[in-house]
Amino acid sequence: MGVPIVQVDAFANRPFGGNPAAVCVLGEPRDEAWMQNVAREMNLAETAFLHPENDGYRLRWFTPASEVALCGHATLASAHVLWEDGHLPSSSQARFHTQSGLLTADRRGEWIDLDFPATPPTQAPAPPGLAAALRVGPGWVGRSKFDYVVELDSEDAVRGLKPDLLALERVDARGVIVTSRATTSGYDFVSRFFAPRVGVPEDPVTGSAHCTLTPFWSERLGRTEMTAYQASPRGGVVRVKLVGDRVILGGQAVTVLRGELV
Active-site annotation, residues: 46
Amino acid present at 210: H
**DSSP bridge partners of 6:** 23, 258
Q: Which of 74, 85, 42, 100 is nearest to 34 (CA)?
A: 42
Contact 164/132 with Cβ under 8 angstroms?
Answer: yes
Burial of 13: CB neighbours in 10 Å, binned 0-12, 13-18, 19+: middle
Contact 178/158 with Cβ under 8 angstroms?
Answer: yes
**At 20, which helix (H) or strand (E)?**
strand 19-25
Spatial separation of the C-alpha atoms in residues 100 and 66, rounded to whole Å? 16
Q: Write the CA distances from 116 to 30, 55, 105, 237, integer angstroms.
A: 25, 18, 9, 17
Q: Please name the residues in contact with 124: beta carbons below 8 A apart, sequence gap of 6 or more.
A: 141, 142, 143, 148
The angle subtended at Cα 34 by Cα 33 and Cα 40, nearest 5°, is 90
